Amino acid sequence: MNELKGSQGSENIGASARIWSGIKTVFAFLLFVVYMVPFVLVLINSLKQKVNIIKTPLKFVDEAGPQISNYVDAFNKMGYFQAFGNSLIITGCSIVLLVVCSSMCAYILVRRNYKACRISYYLLISYMVVPFQVIMIPVLAIYGNQFHLLNNRLILIIMNVAYGTGFATFLMYGFIKSSVPLALEEAALIDGAGVFRIYSGIVLPLLKPILATNMILQTLGLWNDYLLPSLVLGKESLQTLPIRIRAFNGTFTSDYGLMMAALVMCVTPIIILFIFMQKYIVGGIVSGAVKE
């Protein structure tokens, strides 16, 4: 009798687990649909004439067939190669400097038990909650009006590194503290290795998961950033892809077909990067986001 009750209880638990799993699957699918609808609309409207985008934005195919010419015209009018090169240079240099500086900073903050290190860490954490819009006007006034340093890719790279260091160091700090054994560094120190040798030869190779996570997250943000580059880079020859899309948005009219096509060409490289590197994101964040 007891065995029968036990088997029935197990069956009930198994049925409840399957029902709950099905509910979660349906909910995840609905979220996927909600998130994908805007991108699908952009994609299908990038292949339509302007008039049909306004009249029938939800229609999948244009009456005159797919308008591949939208991509050709957008490619030429926005100067895609030049804008892509600017985005690549600014994003690439910013990411390299960001991960190197934040990893060295996090290593020192973790391994040096100084009061100044703890204060610096807490200042970095508090800095993360300050929106860029709060300091946007003062920073631009200083760099533009006082030092006349705008319209310079190097200045934008420095700003990107400065604004992204807090979050990157936060992830590195947690990862080093939880996943990098101190015994390895102590053994290297006994063998006569210096601090830089320990960092470059032992610590840095162990940081590959969190380095990849930082690179992906920062690349997603910097590649698609519009506000800061639009304020710093006024010259057309220095503008990045998100800024050049603005060329299709006029004062009295906008060419939505070309704008949609430009948006697709802008996000395609970052989507490809995300697909190949997504496996590092969750693992790196979970390993790095631990409390002190």
**Position 34 pLDDT exceeds 50:** yes
Confirm if 134 and 96 have CB atoms less than 8 A apart.
Answer: no
Selection from 264, 271, 265, 256 nearest residue 62 by Cα: 256
Would the pTM count as exceeding 0.75? yes
Average pLDDT, stretch 174-193? 83
Amino acid 176: pLDDT: 87
Q: Which residue has tokens 């054994």?
A: 181
**Position 117 pLDDT exceeds 90:** no
Q: How far is CA 121 from the centre of its chain?
A: 22
**Position 209 pLDDT exceeds 70:** yes
Average pLDDT, stretch 64-80? 86
Average pLDDT, stretch 140-158? 83
Amino acid 19: pLDDT: 84
Amino acid 291: pLDDT: 44
d(CA 66, CA 262): 16
Average pLDDT, stretch 37-49? 87
**Position 146 pLDDT exceeds 80:** no
**Position 97 pLDDT exceeds 90:** yes
Amino acid 87: pLDDT: 92
Q: Which two tokens stand for residue 223?
A: 């590649």
Selection from 257, 226, 289 nearest residue 48 by Cα: 257
The string of pLDDT tens digits covering residues 213-268 is 888 888 888 998 888 888 888 888 888 999 988 878 765 567 888 888 888 898 88
- Highest mean pLDDT of the ranges 140-144, 148-152, 171-175: 171-175
d(CA 77, CA 71): 10
CA atoms within a 13 Å half-sphere pointing along the CA-CB vector of 66: 6
Average pLDDT, stretch 137-165? 84
The string of pLDDT tens digits covering residues 17-33 is 788 888 888 998 999 88
Collapsing DSSP to helix, strand or coil, 254 comes out as: strand
Write the DSSP symbol of residue 206.
H
Amino acid 96: pLDDT: 92
Q: Measured on CA atoms in the order 43, 44, 49, 53, is the torsion positive or negative?
A: negative
Kindly list the distances between the CA atom of residue 171 and the CA atoms of 204, 209, 217, 287, in Å, as whole numbers in the listed order: 14, 11, 11, 8
